[in-house]
Amino acid sequence: MPMQPAVVQALKEWQKAFDNTQEAATRAMRTAFPLLDNAPRPTGCCDVMLQYEQTGAGSGKVCIDLDGRGTIDFKDMPNEVIAEAIDDAFGIAWFDNADGPLEDAGPGKYYYDDETTSAEYEVALGKDGTGAVSVAYIPILDCAALLDALTRARDRQLSEHAAVSDGSSGQ
């Protein structure tokens, strides 16, 4: 069924705005976590998928769905980076099973379900010193904030370890 020219034009404008929004969300994710790079197409789960893999920083992916939500699935990240970032982004004792800072919580799985946004969070701190961050259906603003917290924690930990390695105090 053919549409009226004004409807076709309005849909073209909508598609352009939607594409611009997806591109802006992608830039925000890559800016917040610079290790991310575009995944080869097709991505399998969503129109936009970013991925990374780096020795000592783990690997994973970030997806941006058509509803303007992000999904983070990172693994093999240092526990100390995860704990610092989660506590920084959410505050202390925000997750189930953590009565204080995640840094003090020890190995295990910690959960949080956001009833307002329907986002689902799971953090796993492993016995081997590495863990995972899995977040589903998180608003793009919150996704970028969490990715930024992970980047800042990672950068701080790297500079602290470098200072210890070269004998300086780092303060």
Q: How would residue 60 be classed by pLDDT, with cut points 50, 70 and 90?
A: very high
More confident residue, 167 or 51: 51
Q: What is the arithmetic mean of pLDDT over 80-84?
A: 95
H-only helix segments in the chain: 5-32, 79-90, 102-105, 140-165
Band (109; pLDDT cuts 50, 70, 90):
very high
pLDDT for 169 = 54
**Residue 24 or residue 162, greater confidence:** 24
**φ, ψ for residue 8 (rounded to 5)?**
-60, -45
**pLDDT at site 47:** 80
Tokens representing residue 34 in the block: 């610079």
pLDDT > 60? residue 171: no
Q: How far is CA 95 from CA 50, 109, 151, in A?
A: 26, 9, 20
Q: What is the DSSP letter of 169?
A: -
Residue 67's SS3 state is coil
Per DSSP, the three-state class of 115 is coil
Q: What is the pLDDT of residue 99?
A: 86
**DSSP structure string for 68-99:** SEEEEEEEEEEHHHHHHHHHHHH-TT-SBT-S
pLDDT of residue 150: 97
Banded pLDDT at 163 (limits 50, 70, 90): confident
Mean pLDDT of 121-126: 96
pLDDT for residue 98 is more than 80: yes
Given a cut of 70, whether residue 94 has pLDDT beyond it is yes
3-state class of 18 per DSSP?
A: helix
Residue 43: pLDDT band with limits 50, 70, 90: low
Alpha carbons 48 and 42: distance in angstroms, whole number: 9
26-40 average pLDDT score = 94
Model confidence at 88: pLDDT above 90: yes
The CATH class of 5-165 is alpha beta
